[in-house]
Amino acid sequence: MAGAEWTSLEESLEKHLPLLDLQEVKRVLYGKELRKLDLPREAFEGASKEDFELQGYAFEAAEEQLRQPRIVHVGLVQNRTPLPTDAPVKEQVSALHKRIKSIVEVAAMCGVNIICFQEAWTMPFAFCTREKLPWTEFAESAEDGPTTKFCQKLAKNHNMVVVSPILERDSEHGDTLWNTAVVISNSGAVLGKTRKNHIPRVGDFNESTYYMEGNLGHPVFQTQFGRIAVNICYGRHHPLNWLMYSINRAEIIFNPSATVGALSESMWPIEARNAAIANHCFTCAINRVGTEHFTSEFTSGDGKKAHKDLGYFYGSSYVAAPDSSRTPGLSRTRDGLLVAKLDLNLCQQVNDVWNFKVGPQDPCCYLFLCFGSHPALRTENYCCGVDHSSMGYQLPPEGSV
């Protein structure tokens, strides 16, 4: 069941399971139970008026003697495209700006400090079509394009860091297109940008027709509210991508995405949560909602009949913590805002207990990972003066791989 008829996993569990069974199932699926946030009444009224879901949860850390709690409120926004995909480009962008503005205003009522939108939020996710026009017309400058200026105003007006994933037009380097996230400080200044490191070539996800792998590495942005990174969409399938942001000291890693049920929904609840556990940080998984229909049929060389949509974007955005707890997901079918109160002290507290990143690991594994394909490293089992053959490492003979 990958379409819009199913609202959410949480709703199904609550509808069909006895209370005690429900509590145990949630314990396994979501970790320890989170406290619901007491969000302002006017925020719920605003969400109801603008027809989007509003949820809020708190992740709490142990009280410490020497460190004060490091509290930050994050907001995750999921939404569908308000206009048909064949509407004029300017009208589509304007409608999305208007929609996001209304959601951000509610986020401000909830005290959100950092807000992140979904991947390529200013446009339909049209890369399945392989058509250049009109889709490349949605591309903008990351530094001073109309969407960045729009987000700068939001950030400054609401004292809120804004993470704005867009299709970027890099006019300084050959008008190249990139899948980019712009990070704007709560003062309205552009802190910088990051680009999608892993590009899918799976089914209808024909993104390399438009842009290639990013060239900015794994930047982490120091904000007033904490150190944040942005692992765009397909990068969530790559554990080392998360790891690099963590090595660069990210405390919160956002994962703005656009993914459909038939392809990835069974992976969705696992990957960001696992990354939070493995890297001792908070992760924020964000997906868009709905089905976007295009004028022309397209195929992708996978034997399927020509069709006019990519599939159903299933929403289900959530936040995961380093202690394995996570929020319930937002709806599969509705626009929504998820507010999460984080205590960043939890990152170090969990690291001190589990020590996954700095435990008794063999450093040579990382050398083998980086250079293992080099013939010179396949000629013997010795590295750093250690005989790895005695530790279960057996490199294949040179030329056998």
Residue type, 297: E
| 3-state SS assignment for residue 172 | coil
**Cα 263 to Cα 286: distance, rounded to the nearest angstrom:** 16
- Residue 36 is encoded by which pair of tokens? 């619901």
Element (H, E) at 241: helix 239-247
Residue type, 395: L
**Cα 39 to Cα 46: distance, rounded to the nearest angstrom:** 12
Cβ pair 115, 107 in contact under 8 A:
yes
- Cis bond before residue 124 (omega within 30° of 0): no
Examine the residue annotation and report whether 196 is marked as an active-site residue of this protein.
yes
Q: Considering 128, 151, 233, 383, which one is annotated as catalytic?
A: 233
Strands (E), 240-305: 252-256, 282-286, 289-298
Examine the residue annotation and report whether 119 is marked as an active-site residue of this protein.
yes
Q: How many other CB atoms sit within 10 Å of the CB of residue 313? A: 25
- Cβ-in-10-Å burial (0-12, 13-18, 19+) of 65 comes to exposed
- Residue 265 is encoded by which pair of tokens? 């929904």
- CA-CA-CA-CA dihedral for 193, 153, 150, 110, to nearest 10: 90
Cβ pair 342, 59 in contact under 8 A:
yes
- Cβ-in-10-Å burial (0-12, 13-18, 19+) of 325 comes to buried
- CA 147 to chain centroid: 19
Q: Considering 128, 196, 292, 341, which one is annotated as catalytic?
A: 196
| 3-state SS assignment for residue 73 | strand
* Angle of CA points 184, 190, 192, to nearest 5°: 95
| 3-state SS assignment for residue 170 | strand
Q: How many helices (H) and strands (E) does the chain have?
A: 10, 19
Examine the residue annotation and report whether 233 is marked as an active-site residue of this protein.
yes
Q: Considering 10, 53, 60, 119, which one is annotated as catalytic?
A: 119
Q: How many other CB atoms sit within 10 Å of the CB of residue 201? A: 11
Catalytic residues: 119, 196, 233
